[in-house]
């Protein structure tokens, strides 16, 4: 299994980054000037970009370089019709239709950023030449790995919340109300003992409503519920 590591490809990355930085500055200046290039000039510039990238990478020199060239093609195809591209011969059909300088700039910036991240090791090197199928597989695996990490984190968060809730519940003293306990039917109502009044079953002062009763001072000095 071949791994196109950053160590093996350091002689490729550094000159490629330098070349791409120059091209990004050139295209940025053209875009800022507001004078669009002709279709012919744009086609030629895009073809030359693909050509210089391939010359610097030299995919035929080693399996690692071949793998990295396949990575580059995955980005170059935004402007290049890879199936018609030939580094030795310019043909107008090797450039995608309806391409503008802004599209070219985005492609150059993306390839530059990708190469820098490959050099630094932020992007793991693939172990095989990247095709449409392998690129889709790699994207799917990356997505599944991300979803698994998010699921694991969510489960950990829920576990922490459950633990915190259990700790809080354990520290609370259960307080029992007199009306939460079964009583003797013959036992005198506590409300009557306090106020002289006993609520009837159908009155507003039921067991549930007693929690919201308002007590007022009666003329005789006693405190009676206001109903």
pLDDT of res. 208: 47
Percent of the chain surpassing pLDDT 70: 68
CA 206 – CA 1 distance, rounded (Å):
80
Q: What is the mean pLDDT of residues 74-100?
A: 95
80: three-class secondary structure by DSSP: strand
pLDDT digits (tens, 9 = 90+) for 153-197: 889 988 888 888 877 766 555 455 545 555 556 666 665 566 665
Quick: pLDDT tens for 117-137: 999 989 988 878 877 555 556
Q: Tell whether pTM > 0.75.
A: no
Neighbours of 149 (CB within 10 A): 10
Question: Which pLDDT score is estimated for 93?
Answer: 95
Question: What is the model's pLDDT at position 195?
Answer: 61
∠85-83-70 over CA atoms, to 5°? Answer: 85
What's the chain's average pLDDT?
80
Q: pLDDT (tens digit, 9 = 90+) per residue, 19-46?
A: 999 999 999 999 999 888 999 999 999 9
The residue-averaged pLDDT of 90-116 equals 96
Q: Tell me how crowded residue 69 is: count the other CB atoms within 10 A of its CB.
A: 23
Q: Which residues 6+ apart lie within 8 Å of 56 measured at CB?
A: 12, 15, 16, 19
> What pLDDT does residue 22 have?
97
């Amino acid at each position: 299994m071949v791994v196109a590591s950053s160590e093996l490809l350091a002689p490729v990355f550094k000159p490629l980054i330098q070349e791409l930085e120059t091209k990004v500055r050139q295209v940025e200046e053209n875009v800022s000037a507001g004078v669009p290039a002709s279709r012919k000039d744009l086609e030629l510039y895009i073809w030359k970009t693909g050509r210089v990238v391939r010359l610097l990478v030299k995919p035929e020199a080693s399996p690692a370089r071949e793998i990295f060239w396949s990575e580059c093609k995955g980005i170059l195809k935004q402007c290049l019709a890879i199936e018609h591209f030939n580094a030795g011969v310019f043909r107008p059909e090797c450039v995608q239709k309806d391409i503008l300088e802004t599209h070219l700039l985005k492609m150059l910036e993306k390839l530059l950023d990708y190469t820098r991240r490959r050099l630094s090791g932020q992007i793991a090197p693939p172990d095989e030449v990247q095709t449409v199928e392998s690129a889709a597989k790699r994207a799917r695996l990356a997505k599944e790995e991300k979803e698994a990490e998010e699921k694991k984190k969510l489960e950990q968060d829920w576990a922490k919340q459950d633990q915190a809730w259990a700790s809080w519940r354990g520290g609370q003293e259960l307080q029992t109300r007199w009306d939460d306990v079964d009583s003797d039917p013959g036992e005198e109502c506590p409300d009557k003992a306090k106020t002289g009044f006993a609520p009837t079953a159908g009155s507003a002062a039921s067991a549930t409503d007693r929690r919201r009763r308002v007590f007022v001072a009666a003329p005789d000095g006693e405190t009676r519920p206001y109903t």
